[in-house]
Chain A
Amino acid sequence: MTATVGVLALQGDHEAHARSVRALGFAARAVKAPEHLEGVSALLLPGGESSTMLKLIEAEGLREPLRAFCASGQPVLGTCAGAILLARDVSSPAQASLDALDIDVERNAYGRQLESFVTRIDDGEPGFEDLEAVFIRAPAIRRVGESVSVLARHDGQPVLVRAGNVWAATFHPELSSDPRLVRSVLAPLTP
């Protein structure tokens, strides 16, 4: 049976994630409420506005189910706003988070839209060399916990990190034609 990948679809570019999931041969399901997580084998938290998503997560009672999914050992990837949701501590301004990954994140760390950019990652671990990365009003990872490995840096800054099954990128693989990152995250599953 084809594995189903859940995409948090409260707000943001979840359709782009769903497209990249389907391109890899998996089924994609929009997750807007706790019951949508049933039968899901991996979870993607998309880009968008983290403050908006947080309010909707609280309103739908999704906070604990999402945390439980991250603790379950199944693959989880947060991109941009999704990385902010996963972090332990969020600044600029401070806001709540799922605390599912031991990193601290500063929102809009590069500035406003005029500072958004597309680049090739200049320092990636094997498998992530020259990864194409789209940064849009991107956050920055300001602290990386001991259990967390940095898989890619750009300009000396960590931009892709992982602790076990939970991955976070400050850029948008879903807006790139480079499938390597999502493929690696979903590698434990069979399409």
Chain B
Amino acid sequence: MSESTTPLRLKTGLAEMLKGGVIMDVTNVEQARIAEDAGACAVMALERVPSDIRKDGGVARMARIDIIEAIMGEVSIPVMAKARIGHFAEAQVLQTLGVDYIDESEVLTPADDKNHIDKHAFDVPFVCGCRNLGEALRRIGEGAAMIRTKGEAGSGNIVEAVRHMRQVMSDIKSLTILGEEELMTRAKDLGAPYELVRLVAREGTLPVPNFAAGGVATPADASLMMSLGAQAVFVGSGIFKSQDPPTFASAIVKATTHWDDPARVLEACKTVASAAMEGLDMDKLDPSDMLQTRGW
């Protein structure tokens, strides 16, 4: 495939527009309607929410096209969709369909156990997950226009997203105090492209927007991730596996906007009068069931 001529600025530009917002996983038109009505800034169309993928097992693939199309027809906010890691044919289908963003996602079953998609070949922008700076810069090197933490999707447990966000932020900080002559060795240790390592060392920030995902289940979770440096929040199972999706959706939107104002986060928490999704204890999760270790 040849290189896309779409400037990176246009690809990251849409991510800029999503900042301070909540991107919600939806599996059908009804859920998409609830998400938009609650103030989602975008929806992610997928076949099953991550907690169901975890429970049901089997191979998780790109969502059915008729479902994605129906969701695109229903809402006026951007529609994203997930492709399997390395499955550039799924990504081509989604680009041709006209989705606004593609998530090359560890939540789906990887299609290539060594290579991610060459995202420079696409006009549509991509978001990819990461657990540390090296992984973030490898994905950006491949052409990703937005990075998100992987967290542990479908767990309802924020601990992994926190771990990944803190790791990325701490990796960035440590780069900024290194001498120019130390950056090549650090690039080697991170397994990251040298030029991107130099750029991050100079700027003290990633060259693309940095969002949070993987375990957000409550308004306070969203506020926590924003406080740690996330610029927007993805919520997967946290809304439609809660007992009251419209209320959870609105409350998480409010807490994301007002993340630095505890009184308003409290107001958001007060609106919720039913149980959040059930959560998983990481210590009880078999390492082979972890989604975050997918991706290379």
Q: Which residues of A contact B (CB under 8 A)?
A: 9-16, 32, 47-49, 51-52, 55-56, 59, 80-81, 92-93, 107-108, 111-114, 116-118, 134, 136-137, 172, 175
Alpha-carbon separation in the docked complex, A172 to B13 (Å): 9
8 extra A-B contacts, CB within 8 A, seeds A12-B17, A113-B78: A12-B20, A47-B17, A51-B36, A112-B100, A113-B14, A116-B10, A118-B7, A137-B17
Alpha-carbon separation in the docked complex, A48 to B13 (Å): 10
Residues of B within 8 A of A49 (CB): 17-18, 21, 41-42, 77-78
Within the complex, the shortest CB–CB distance from B211 to chain A, in Å, comes to: 13
Alpha-carbon separation in the docked complex, A11 to B40 (Å): 10
B39 touches A116 (CB 8 A): no
Residues of B within 8 A of A113 (CB): 14, 78, 100-101, 124-125
Partner of A52, one of B9, B100, B253, B261: B253
B16 touches A52 (CB 8 A): no
Secondary structure of the A side of the interface? loop
Residue of B nearest to A172 (CB): B13
Alpha-carbon separation in the docked complex, A32 to B258 (Å): 8
Given A136-B13, A172-B13, A48 and B20 touching (CB < 8 A)?
yes
Alpha-carbon separation in the docked complex, A90 to B83 (Å): 34
Within the complex, the shortest CB–CB distance from A164 to chain B, in Å, comes to: 28
Which 9 A-B pairs rank lowest in CB-CB distance, beginning with the nearest?
A: A113-B100, A13-B16, A55-B39, A49-B41, A11-B20, A11-B21, A136-B13, A52-B39, A52-B41
A13 touches B17 (CB 8 A): yes
B19 touches A48 (CB 8 A): yes
A175 touches B9 (CB 8 A): yes
Residues of B within 8 A of A92 (CB): 76
Whether, in the assembled complex, B254 has its beta carbon less than 8 Å from a beta carbon of chain A, the answer is yes
Residues of B within 8 A of A12 (CB): 16-17, 19-21
Residue of A nearest to B21 (CB): A11
B10 touches A118 (CB 8 A): yes
Residues of A within 8 A of B38 (CB): 55
Residues of A within 8 A of B72 (CB): 112
Alpha-carbon separation in the docked complex, A144 to B243 (Å): 47
B9 touches A51 (CB 8 A): no
Within the complex, the shortest CB–CB distance from B153 to chain A, in Å, comes to: 23
Within the complex, the shortest CB–CB distance from A187 to chain B, in Å, comes to: 26
Alpha-carbon separation in the docked complex, A107 to B124 (Å): 20
Whether, in the assembled complex, B257 has its beta carbon less than 8 Å from a beta carbon of chain A, the answer is yes
Alpha-carbon separation in the docked complex, A161 to B16 (Å): 24
Interface residues of B in 1-50 (CB under 8 A from A): 7, 9-10, 13-14, 16-21, 36, 38-42
Within the complex, the shortest CB–CB distance from A18 to chain B, in Å, comes to: 12
Within the complex, the shortest CB–CB distance from A124 to chain B, in Å, comes to: 21
Alpha-carbon separation in the docked complex, A52 to B233 (Å): 14
A112 touches B16 (CB 8 A): no
Residues of B within 8 A of A14 (CB): 19-20
Alpha-carbon separation in the docked complex, A80 to B17 (Å): 10
Within the complex, the shortest CB–CB distance from B259 to chain A, in Å, comes to: 10
Whether, in the assembled complex, B123 has its beta carbon less than 8 Å from a beta carbon of chain A, the answer is yes
Residues of B within 8 A of A117 (CB): 10
Render B94-107 as a binary contact track against A, CB cut-off 8 A, 1 for contact: 01001111000000
Given A32-B261, A48-B20, A134 and B77 touching (CB < 8 A)?
no
Residue of B nearest to A108 (CB): B76
